[in-house]
Amino acid sequence: MRYRLLGRTGLRVSELWLGTMTFGEEWGWGAPEATSARMVDLYLDAGGNVVDTADVYTNGTSEEMIGRLLGPRRERVVLSTKYSLTVRPDDPNGGGSHRRHLVESLEASLRRLRTDHIDVYWVHFRDYLTPVEETMRALDDQVRLGKVLYVAVSDWPAWEIARAQTLAELRGWSPFAALQTQYSLLERTSERDLIPMCTSLDLSVVAWSPLARGVLTGKYLDRAATGRITVTGGSAEMDPRTEAVVRETVDVAEELGVTASQVALAWLLSRPAPVMPIIGATGEQQFAENLAALDVDLAPEHVQRLDAVSSIELGFPHDWLALEVVRRAQYGPVREKIDA
């Protein structure tokens, strides 16, 4: 296990994060506490130091379980949790990114996690009813109180994250240190705006669903002709592109003598903009297999094949601005002589 700095902070975080959405069986799938405990042990023994959860995961059971399982090991763990999704569907203030729900959610998470502070506190989703200014100021208040050490963001548009960062910088508030985004060989649309934004603003990139809810393991290939397939927490489309990406991932795995899951995770770890995947599982063997992705070295030709089969169109204006005729119109023939 190696470590990276979180955004523009000095906080050292491991390159693989432990995801705990599977801790608890309240949603009809997941892992019981004994299995979850073994996964925590495996992760910490491998050198991992970030445990990621959310107040709504398995209706709060995930946080409660983590609080019990960490015990005296809390000090060596970077504890990461989230807020903003509704916890009372019949209450108009039971969810959102506004100050009231933030304070309420944070206090509840602190109780369940059995700690007096959260190391990294995430705004889970963009709440379009709450002004960005209110959210950023409310987060900064909790940092100043010492209940939150670093703040981060998940599932927001790039332009609003950039606006939030600018507000924080101008007003002396705590800026976001990282972005959680859906990112995998099957979901690369974050490369259009979110990841370039993170590179520009020095936000760390944390990838959720790096195995595309299990599709990249290859276990659904025999049902490729059926169209929609049942996956963890819902369904997914096994369309021609998906099938092609999964088959190439499996082929590379067979050539290397590893699993498709390990190849998919190793591809993320090899991205030009450093990415930290969140790994989770419902069983100890599956989790140990995912951890072993750290030992997989993809050759340049393997990365090239995976990049090619999973490539996406960046769309306007990115693809248009990359056209040679546009580049020459903008810069003229001297562009190649300018080092940038």
334 occurs within a structural domain: no
- The reply to whether 319 falls in a domain is no
Distance CA 176, CA 170 (A): 14
Confidence at residue 235, expressed as pLDDT on a 0 to 100 scale: 75
Q: How many CB atoms lie within 10 A of CB 92?
A: 9
The pLDDT tens digits of the residues spanning 34-90 come to: 999 999 999 999 999 999 999 999 999 999 999 999 999 999 999 999 999 999 999
Catalytic residue, candidates 43, 57, 83, 220: 57
For residue range 280-304, what is the model confidence (pLDDT) as tens digits? 999 999 999 999 999 999 999 999 9
Answer for the pair 151, 177: CB distance below 8 angstroms, yes or no. yes
Flag whether 278 is in a domain.
yes
Residue 189 lies in a domain: yes
Residue 82 placed within a domain: yes
Residue 37, token pair as written in the block: 């405990």
| pLDDT at residue 267 greater than cutoff 90 | yes
Looking at the chain, the whole-number percentage of residues with pLDDT higher than 70 is 98
Known catalytic membership, residue 83? no
- Those residues whose C-beta lies under 8 Å from the C-beta of residue 53, and which sit 6 or more positions away, are 20, 21, 23, 62, 63, 66, 80, 81, 82, 113
- Asked if residue 302 is part of any domain, the answer here is no
CATH number at residue 28: 3.20.20.100
Question: How many domains, in total, are found in the chain?
Answer: 1
Q: How many angstroms separate the Cα of 282 from the Cα of each of 39, 76, 102?
A: 9, 24, 30
Query: Tens digit of pLDDT for each residue in 98-151?
Result: 999 999 999 999 999 999 999 999 999 999 999 999 999 999 999 999 999 999
Q: In this structure, which long-range contacts are made by residues 87-93, counting pairs with CB atoms below 8 Å and at least 24 apart in sequence?
A: 87/55, 87/56
302 SS3 class: helix
Residue 222 three-state SS: helix
Tokens of 199: 């590179």
Residue 221 domain-assigned (yes or no) = no
Domain-embedded: residue 230: no
Give yes or no for residue 227 having a pLDDT over 80: no
Predicted local distance difference test score (pLDDT) of residue 224: 63
| 100-135: b (≥16 Cβ within 10 Å) or e | ebbbbbbeebbebbebebbbbbbbbbbbeebebeeb
Q: Which residue segment(s) compose the domain that 12 sits in?
A: 3-212+261-296
Give the pLDDT confidence score for residue 1 in this predicted structure. 96
